[in-house]
Structure 1
Amino acid sequence: MNARADDIAVLVPANASVIPLACIRSLGKRGVPTVVATDDRNVPACSSRYCTESRLVPSPNDDLTAYKASLLSLAERPDIRTIIPVREEDIYVLSKFRSEFEEHVSVIAPSYGALRSVHDRYRLVEIADELGVSVPETRLLDEVDEWDDDLIVKPRFSILTSDYVDSHLTSRIDNMRGETTFVEPGQKPDLDAIDRDMEGHTPIVQEAVPIEHEYMYSGLYDHGEEVASWQQRYLRRKTYGEGGSVYREAVFEPELADAGRKILDHLDWHGTACIEFMKDANTGEFKLTEINPRLWLSVPCAIRAGADFPYYHWLLAMGARERIDPGYELGVATHSLYGELSYLKSVLSEDYPSTERPSVPAACASVLASCIDRPQFDYVDRTDLKPFVKGLYNAVLYSETLGIAPDRSVEEPISAPN
């Protein structure tokens, strides 16, 4: 990278999630200009008062090559110092094409080899097991002959690209995080349906671990050395049976830190990663679930507690690592209002065989009580209300009932918000 005195802005690829919005607010409140790159002009991040500028780019899911070219073109601007990856597509592009981006910006991303190990859940389990980190029993689907226990079938790869699956289109990248099948004891799953969902690759089968609580360890690493870390306990998930956290609190568990560090140290990690663990209700062990090689959906909770990872990324890119203060306040909790509604919807209408469904009155009372007791929310910021309003508007406008798709026409820059 050619260092320049006027390199002052951060490029933030954005989708409809809260992650890019959290980055923009974090940096904007500290006076760091942000440039949003998005394939949908209606994402809430573009409505933030802290968004300096927004640019339309192709969708990485429709044309990965065109997306990479657009991102690289923006990185060539003299005012862009670094890029904060918020999606799997972003970290994949930055890691695979590191040498091209490094000519223009500071790339805070893992090596391509480390990223592939993280995206391959079967390989990741092998690595963790070799390091002495507890993992669920894991096999490839074609190695399973009996279905006598509670089992979970999930994609081997968290994303699909032609690098991972030969039959996949070179110009596409597909996120596989949602394709999970829960199998009750004695019931053989529909293998043909699973094969169609996996789009050409063999999935993994894992034991269903009895869960006491779910946790996350997150770390920012500088070429194999931890710079800052964060831990949270999940208090409620997107559904009563699975999904990301919609209500969580800041914690610190020494054993969790040890397990997370073993993996990232071994991978010689560079950048941010969050590692999800299950605490086994029978053994008390922290068992690895998966790794997200980027910022995570509940990063607003970390920022509120003082672990400001978007700002840490900026400082690391600026060569100011010594200014990073890695501490955070324990007990801080936040909610995703959209997520809480999704949780209540699951209690009303969804079925997860391996998880007991809570009663509707109990679920409603629990959500209401926690929102009153700890009224901190991911999207809601009194200094920046437009993104929350925009998110509500989008939730109605893009509903499946109306059948309206996001506006992804790439014609002109989006005007910066007033």
Structure 2
Amino acid sequence: MVEGSTSDGPAVAVPVTDVPSTVATLRSLAPEGIHTVVVSEMATAQAFASKYCGEVVRTADPHADLLAYRDDLLDVAARDDVRTIVPVREVDAYVLSRYRSSFERHVSLPVPDMAALERVHDRLLLAETAEAAGVPVPDTRRPADVDDWSRDLLAKSRYNLLTETYDDSLAPGESATSDLIEHFETGVRPDLDSLRERHRVEPIVQEFVPGAEEYMVAALYDSGDPLAVFQHRQVRGTRYTGSGGAYRESVSIPELEAVATDLLDHLEWNGLACLEYLRDEDTGEFVLAEINPRMWQSLASTVAMGADFPRYYWQQATGRADEIDPSYDLGVGCHWLKGEFLHALSLFRFDSPHVERPGYAETLRDIAVSTYRQPRFDYLSLDDPGPFLQDCSTLLAELPAVPRLQVKG
């Protein structure tokens, strides 16, 4: 890791995050001779420990001051060597799209326009858009508009990221978000005021989709046309009740690709998209859960399965989209070991009225067997061990903050 150095060759700016996507991007692009500039407000991060981290540039904390972060990111974009910036967090996707015209004076950005981004960030608008595109989506309402609490329901934040663009009660530099997902007891109407307080921003209520199968579709689009589309099945998440992936296996299901591309086509999408789906055990339909307009938590597994989206993004940004080969290998599995640990821990620390808790011995056996049969890992690498060791250190520091047993997913 080098602070403040530059390169004579082409460079890419990659914001830091505490999941494997930043490191996966570095490991993909640095061996191609691309200088990697890790942009971070943090003092420590897994990416800093990677031998593929070419440089670190400190920025303002985007969660404290979006405009200061924007200005720091613009300073990076204005460098002669930087060709593009990779969005790895919701805040990156927002800043790059919201201020796209300012950034594109310096770099090439394959990102959506604000009209499309808002329809993805606002889950109420996303549900309306999915219905207009003719693809399955759970019944989605504001809490006050729910008239039947006898169904299996859950609540989550209305916005992936809430900013003054979506809510003028916020100041221009403010943002808010909530990762909390609550599974309601069937037939019990919650107190709506306390519900909003817990979520910090306005929540939505969605119908729970029965079934245990979760899928992800990743895509890269160029002004409404797909350049690459990838699918995996999420075998285990970081919580047994549903969450980001801990173990995934690559698949190719035509019906799943169809519902994803139909929606992105309808949005006339541009840039990266990560679409999460649940397979309804009653209807067999793939039902949309959400879209993230950025690199995804399981990016390292996607690359291990042969779909190198960081390289695809670089090729699109540098005018070489025709070189993208979107093929990938099927039946390949990959683990995030920290995620596997958190999945096992969730058996003791979470509860849900809608999801049956699996047996602990059975879960440990499944993790061990899949690790033996599919020994591929997001962070663990003999070639680049630093990020894995840092991830283990981070896990030890985070453990006390993992919630105790509660009726939340």
TM-score normalised by length of structure 2 = 0.93
Identify which range, 324-333 or 189-198, moves more after superposition: 189-198
Please state how far the C-alpha of 1:183 moved relative to its aligned partner.
0.9
Q: 1:96 matched to which residue of 2?
A: 98
| Partner Cα separation in structure 2 for residue 397 and residue 149 of structure 1 | 39
Q: 2:208 matched to which residue of 1?
A: 208
Taking the TM superposition and a 5 Å limit, the aligned residue runs for 1:265-280 are 265-280=265-280
SS of the residue aligned with 1:105? coil
Q: 1:71 matched to which residue of 2?
A: 73
| Partner Cα separation in structure 2 for residue 153 and residue 348 of structure 1 | 22
Deviations 1:319-374 (A, max 9, x none): 11111111000011101101111111111232111111112111111111211121
Q: 1:297 matched to which residue of 2?
A: 297
Q: 2:35 matched to which residue of 1?
A: 33
* Residues 10 and 32, structure 1, Cα contact 8 Å, conserved in 2: yes
Q: 1:116 matched to which residue of 2?
A: 118
Please state how far the C-alpha of 1:287 moved relative to its aligned partner.
0.7
| Partner Cα separation in structure 2 for residue 205 and residue 19 of structure 1 | 29
| Partner Cα separation in structure 2 for residue 23 and residue 394 of structure 1 | 20
Taking the TM superposition and a 5 Å limit, the aligned residue runs for 1:252-331 are 252-331=252-331
| Partner Cα separation in structure 2 for residue 144 and residue 283 of structure 1 | 23
Identify which range, 181-190 or 306-315, moves more after superposition: 181-190
SS of the residue aligned with 1:282? coil
Residue 48 of structure 2 aligns with an amino acid whose one-letter code is C
Query: How many positions carry a matched residue from both structures?
Result: 395
| Partner Cα separation in structure 1 for residue 220 and residue 268 of structure 2 | 12
| Partner Cα separation in structure 1 for residue 52 and residue 98 of structure 2 | 30
Q: 1:411 matched to which residue of 2?
A: none
SS of the residue aligned with 1:67? helix
* Residues 119 and 126, structure 2, Cα contact 8 Å, conserved in 1: yes
SS of the residue aligned with 2:342? helix
Q: 1:196 matched to which residue of 2?
A: 197
| Partner Cα separation in structure 2 for residue 7 and residue 134 of structure 1 | 46
Identify which range, 392-401 or 136-145, moves more after superposition: 392-401
SS of the residue aligned with 2:32? coil
* Residues 151 and 208, structure 1, Cα contact 8 Å, conserved in 2: yes
* Residues 7 and 78, structure 1, Cα contact 8 Å, conserved in 2: no
* Residues 61 and 173, structure 1, Cα contact 8 Å, conserved in 2: yes
| Partner Cα separation in structure 2 for residue 159 and residue 223 of structure 1 | 23
| Partner Cα separation in structure 1 for residue 54 and residue 180 of structure 2 | 37
Residue 394 of structure 1 aligns with an amino acid whose one-letter code is T
The higher-RCO structure (CA 8 Å, 6+ apart) is: 1
Q: 2:404 matched to which residue of 1?
A: none
| Partner Cα separation in structure 1 for residue 114 and residue 319 of structure 2 | 22
| Partner Cα separation in structure 2 for residue 200 and residue 81 of structure 1 | 36
| Partner Cα separation in structure 1 for residue 199 and residue 275 of structure 2 | 23
* Residues 7 and 81, structure 1, Cα contact 8 Å, conserved in 2: no
* Residues 158 and 201, structure 2, Cα contact 8 Å, conserved in 1: no
CA shift in 2, pair 1:85/1:11, >3 Å: same
Q: 2:406 matched to which residue of 1?
A: none
Q: 1:11 matched to which residue of 2?
A: 13
* Residues 143 and 192, structure 2, Cα contact 8 Å, conserved in 1: no
| Partner Cα separation in structure 2 for residue 115 and residue 184 of structure 1 | 33
CA shift in 2, pair 1:42/1:123, >3 Å: same
SS of the residue aligned with 1:29? helix
Q: 2:170 matched to which residue of 1?
A: 168
* Residues 177 and 200, structure 2, Cα contact 8 Å, conserved in 1: no
Please state how far the C-alpha of 1:398 moved relative to its aligned partner.
5.3
- Can you give the 5+ residue segments of structure 2 that lack an aligned partner in the other structure? 1-7, 402-409
- Can you give the 5+ residue segments of structure 1 that lack an aligned partner in the other structure? 1-5, 402-418
Please state how far the C-alpha of 1:162 moved relative to its aligned partner.
1.5
Taking the TM superposition and a 5 Å limit, the aligned residue runs for 1:44-55 are 44-55=46-57
Deviations 1:112-135 (A, max 9, x none): 110000001111111111111011
* Residues 167 and 200, structure 1, Cα contact 8 Å, conserved in 2: no
CA shift in 2, pair 1:350/1:398, >3 Å: closer
Q: 1:185 matched to which residue of 2?
A: 186
Residue 55 of structure 1 aligns with an amino acid whose one-letter code is V
CA shift in 2, pair 1:207/1:398, >3 Å: closer
| Partner Cα separation in structure 2 for residue 171 and residue 279 of structure 1 | 39
Q: 2:4 matched to which residue of 1?
A: none
Identify which range, 212-221 or 67-76, moves more after superposition: 212-221
Q: Are 2:44 and 1:42 equivalent residues in the alignment?
A: yes
Q: 2:375 matched to which residue of 1?
A: 375
Residue 279 of structure 2 aligns with an amino acid whose one-letter code is K
Q: 1:364 matched to which residue of 2?
A: 364
* Residues 240 and 346, structure 2, Cα contact 8 Å, conserved in 1: yes
* Residues 232 and 251, structure 1, Cα contact 8 Å, conserved in 2: yes
Please state how far the C-alpha of 1:212 moved relative to its aligned partner.
4.2
Q: 1:389 matched to which residue of 2?
A: 389
| Partner Cα separation in structure 1 for residue 233 and residue 40 of structure 2 | 31
